[in-house]
């Protein structure tokens, strides 16, 4: 069954950009565009629309008003609102209106496409494991069961198992805010890869822990061997008073998770050798010859200020524009205006 998406934005370049992005995921989507809310209502009355992607600021009715009209007529329609408005009150009003997802411009495309796939219950293609790694469904169900048990024991909202590329291998639960899931995973994996390098220099490839606290949802991010990480989200997860218990629970599940990963045929990455000697960026730098000469001249003794001015007086005036004449030089050559005194 073909899913139909209607993009409503009076900026044609934005509509084209979103449409092009939707075509890249190859989900067989049928995409149409409308420049206003009124035309969007006409289009939705003509053909069935599964997902409405609408800008908040439109000529005529606003995106929120269009969403309300659409939902009163088509309750099953999914709606994503995008907006370039940055005022906190407007953003709060948009979120309270209840769209399935909300993004500010410039729209993060990976998160937008992920939200589209989730809204339409499509096969997930953004930051998911390649199809070749998804053949053993029974084993993956076993991994999901382990993560579900881990989530329950930690009273967490979500537990994710990611590989070193940020692909979601298995998950239990869902993030409190799913709209920026892809960007969050990408940022965390960038941090993880940098931490792996630091740990490698210290001789401990996988011994590091990352804690993030917030008013409602904390995040704990820990490596699991060389090629995987566990990511736990929930209230008070990063509380220093309870973190030792949480890490102990995670470590207790480590062997079981690694065993199932072995059943997938996914081997851990080999231990990286500890770097010996001085890192390349700390080695002495070879200075080019021309720079070396400049440095030598800069280190030579400077001329005394009084001697400099005495020398300047002896040499007389030095003109920086030798192709131009002074008034006195012009007068000597007979080029100065006649009957006019020098001013």
Give me the pLDDT at residue 127, please. 67
Give the pLDDT confidence of 60-72 residue by residue, as tens digits: 999 999 999 999 9
DSSP one-letter code for 50: S
Give me the pLDDT at residue 325, please. 57
What is the spatial distance between Cα 69 and Cα 71, in angstroms, rounded to a whole number?
Answer: 6
Give the pLDDT confidence of 151-196 residue by residue, as tens digits: 898 889 999 988 888 888 888 998 888 888 888 888 888 888 888 8
Give me the pLDDT at residue 139, please. 54
Cα 331 to its chain centre, rounded Å, is 70
In terms of Cβ atoms closer than 10 Å to its own Cβ (0-12, 13-18, 19+), residue 245 is exposed
pLDDT higher than 80, residue 93: yes
pLDDT higher than 60, residue 296: no
Give me the pLDDT at residue 67, please. 96
pLDDT higher than 60, residue 302: no
What is the spatial distance between Cα 207 and Cα 224, in angstroms, rounded to a whole number?
Answer: 9
Cα distances (Å, whole numbers) of residue 130 to 111, 167, 332: 18, 8, 87
* Mean per-residue pLDDT over the chain, rounded: 78
Structural domains of the chain in order of their starting residue, each with its CATH number = 4-119 (3.40.50.2300), 131-263 (3.30.450.30), 289-332 (no CATH)
Q: What is the mean pLDDT of residues 98-125?
A: 91
């Amino acid at each position: 069954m073909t899913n139909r998406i209607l993009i409503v934005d009076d900026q044609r370049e934005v509509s084209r950009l979103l449409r092009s992005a939707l075509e890249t995921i190859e989900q067989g989507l049928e995409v149409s565009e409308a420049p206003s809310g009124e035309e969007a209502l006409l289009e939705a009355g003509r053909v069935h629309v599964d997902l409405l992607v609408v800008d908040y600021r439109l000529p005529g009715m606003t995106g929120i008003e269009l969403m309300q009209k659409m939902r009163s007529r088509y309750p099953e329609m999914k709606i994503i609102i995008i907006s370039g408005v940055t005022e906190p009150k407007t953003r709060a009003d948009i979120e309270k209106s209840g769209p399935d997802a909300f993004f500010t411009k410039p729209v993060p495309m990976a998160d937008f496409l992920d939200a589209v796939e989730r809204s339409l219950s499509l096969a997930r293609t953004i930051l998911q494991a390649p199809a070749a790694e998804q053949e053993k469904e029974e084993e993956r169900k076993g991994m999901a069961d382990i993560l579900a048990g881990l989530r329950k024991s930690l009273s967490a909202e979500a537990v994710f198992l990611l590989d070193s590329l940020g692909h979601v291998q298995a998950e239990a639960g869902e993030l409190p805010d799913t709209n920026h899931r892809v960007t969050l995973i990408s940022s965390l994996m960038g941090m993880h890869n940098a931490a792996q390098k630091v740990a490698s220099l210290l001789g401990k490839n996988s011994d590091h822990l990352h804690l993030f606290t917030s008013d409602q949802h904390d995040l704990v991010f820990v490596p699991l061997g060389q090629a995987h990480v566990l990511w736990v989200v929930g209230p008070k997860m990063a509380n220093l008073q309870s973190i030792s218990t949480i890490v102990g629970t995670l470590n207790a599940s480590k062997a079981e998770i690694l065993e199932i990963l072995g059943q997938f045929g996914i081997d851990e990455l080999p231990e990286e050798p500890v770097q010996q000697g001085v890192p390349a960026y700390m080695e002495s730098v070879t200075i080019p010859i021309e720079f070396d000469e400049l440095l030598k001249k800069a280190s030579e003794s400077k001329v005394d200020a009084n001697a400099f001015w005495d020398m300047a007086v002896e040499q007389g005036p030095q003109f920086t524009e030798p192709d131009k004449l002074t008034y006195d030089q012009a007068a000597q050559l007979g080029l100065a205006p006649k009957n006019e005194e020098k001013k």
